[in-house]
Amino acid sequence: MSDLFSKIEEVTALHGIAGHEFQVRDYLRQAITPNVERVETDGLGGLFGIKDSPISKAPRIMVAAHMDEVGFMVSDIKLDGTLRAVAIGGWNPLVMSSQRFTLLTHSGEQVPIISGSTPPHLLRDNERQASLPKAADIIFDGGFTDKAEAESFGIIPGDIIVPDSKAILTANGKNVISKAWDNRYGILMVTELLENLRQEELTNTLIAGANVQEEVGLRGAHVSTAQFDPELFFAVDCSPAGDIYGDQGKIGEGILLRFYDPGHIMLRNMRDFLLTTAEEAGIKYQYYTAKGGTDAGAAHLQNKGIPSTTIGVCARYIHSHQALYNMDDFYQAQAFLQAIVKKLDRSTVDLIKQY
């Protein structure tokens, strides 16, 4: 078993949806504190380690993952003891039913539950037709006798529900199947970056950590960029692989040069810098046109404009219990991110910002 897979097991086992990222934040704080001068948080709970540069007027560079994964939040406890919930983050209706979940009560207890589905036997009536469920209609069931019994286990509206899924290796040993690679990939990227740069004297002040509430509208990035005021912003995030659908994003083919998404267009000078850096470092890369956004979409509009981009990899079947992704892609992304950070001195940052 590889050291990387062991770390993936640990980080993907953490639970944390938007607004309830405490497990991930505690993990991140413990992992990065020995490798930075100080750790700071913003008002929503984003957490960043600061590695100061001794160089005068060193540029401020922000590298940001996001802590939250997709999940649900209890909205109602029915008289029969079943639960209803609201989706936190984007879910494909086809993957919500008949799955195992963990409910975390407000006191921290973990309760096993499942999402219900209608058996085919009950669809034989001509008046019943199978249809795609809406999140609000999904029945979450912990096997409770009634509402009073559910409440006796400490369950109240506002408690969080996260996928129950264990990381495993594929048969060829190249890929991993787990929940939450979006965006525990980013969390692991940040911790590995700071550990590898611990003894490095950088030509920039590095601000590396993770935002909160990305999956519900890139909210944390607004706050953290306002607080830390970086000159450049690098989101570290995972995107959907389209390879099996004949689209862009192929696992095992390296990092994504994400030059466009609906909320962000990569600036020319940033693109040229990334391409040059990738070529010089021998990084495998692929061009990627994204259909969703990352924290770069929020960050680039802050503080009079912050040149931003995303250092990403792709995974199949994200926003579900079972994403499938390639471990070598992580190694490529980590080498790329380290090469980027090491090159960002004052003259290089000024060139990227030049118009």
pLDDT above 80 for 30: yes
Architecture of domain 71-163 in CATH?
Beta Barrel (2.40)
Give the angle 167-170-172 at the CA atoms, nearest 5°.
Answer: 150
Per-domain residue ranges for the chain? 3-69+179-352, 71-163
> Is 215 tagged catalytic?
no
Q: What is the pLDDT of residue 355?
A: 86
Global pTM exceeds 0.75: yes
pLDDT at 127: 61
- Please say if the pLDDT value at position 126 is more than 60: no
Mean pLDDT score, 150-176: 97
Place of tokens 């471990």: 327
Closest by CA to 202, choosing from 334, 12, 323, 339, is 339
pLDDT digits 0-9 by tens, 192-237: 999 999 999 999 999 999 999 999 999 999 999 999 999 999 999 9
Reported residue count of the chain is: 355
Q: Residue 1 has what DSSP assignment?
A: -
pLDDT over threshold 80, residue 125: no
Report pLDDT for 135: 87
Question: How confident is residue 263, by pLDDT bands cut at 50, 70 and 90?
Answer: very high
Question: What are the beta bridge partners of residue 140?
Answer: 83, 115
Q: Tokens in use for 213?
A: 């509430």
Interacting residues of 127 by C-beta distance below 8 A, sequence separation 6+ = none
Bigger pLDDT: 273 or 137? 273
The stretch 283-290 carries a mean pLDDT of 97
pLDDT band at 128; cut points 50, 70, 90: low
CATH superfamily label, 3-69+179-352? Zn peptidases (3.40.630.10)
CB-CB contact of 334 with 193 (8 Å): yes
What's the burial of 249, exposed, middle or buried (CB within 10 Å: 0-12/13-18/19+)?
Answer: buried
- Which of 133, 130, 132 is CA-nearest to residue 120? 130
User: Can you give the pLDDT at residue 118?
Assistant: 76
pLDDT tens digit sequence for 132-153 = 888 888 999 999 999 999 999 9
Read off the tokens for 244.
Answer: 């099996």
- Spatial separation of the C-alpha atoms in residues 83 and 87, rounded to whole Å: 13
Q: Given a cut of 60, is residue 1 above it in pLDDT?
A: no
Which of these is catalytic: 69, 192, 214, 215?
Answer: 214
